[in-house]
Amino acid sequence: QVQLVESGGGLVQAGGSLRLSCAASGSIFRINVMGWYRQAPGRQRELVATISRNNSTNYADSVKGRFTISRDNAKNTVYLQMNSLKPEDTAVYYCKADVSPFVYWGQGTQVTVSS
């Protein structure tokens, strides 16, 4: 079992920045890949960024150059630094842990970007 708790969401103006955190607990030694996903109203949940155990990263085209995913293994935490935010980044952001064959999700944190 892995528990994930996200924090750091909020309301920000376009062009601003936010940093999301995802703290993992439980069987964290089994986590292979962690990632951030988001879901806007009326839309499907989509990939934002992932980071593997060896710190290999992957980003959605829509966030490349603006968002950065990182991890602090000592704190069992994954971060998503979001810069140059746009109104279309508004969504609930979810943290995901891949512990194959299982997948764990956090409860989500709301990010709202005003124009």
So what's the pLDDT on residue 39? 98
Contact between 78 and 6 under an 8 Å Cβ cutoff? The reply is no
% of the chain residues with pLDDT over 90: 82
Alpha carbon distances (Å) from 59 to 3, 35, 69, 74, 99: 23, 10, 9, 24, 20
Candidates 40, 70, 43; CA nearest to 55 is 70
What one-letter code names the amino acid at 100?
S
pLDDT tens, position by position, 66-108: 999 999 888 889 999 999 999 999 999 999 999 888 999 999 9
DSSP calls for 35-59: EEEEE-TTS--EEEEEEETT--EEE
Please say if the pLDDT value at position 27 is more than 90.
no
Model confidence band, residue 32 (pLDDT cutoffs 50, 70, 90): confident
Please say if the pLDDT value at position 29 is more than 80.
no
24 Cβ contact partners less than 8 Å away, ≥ 6 residues apart: 2, 3, 4, 31, 34, 76, 77, 78, 97
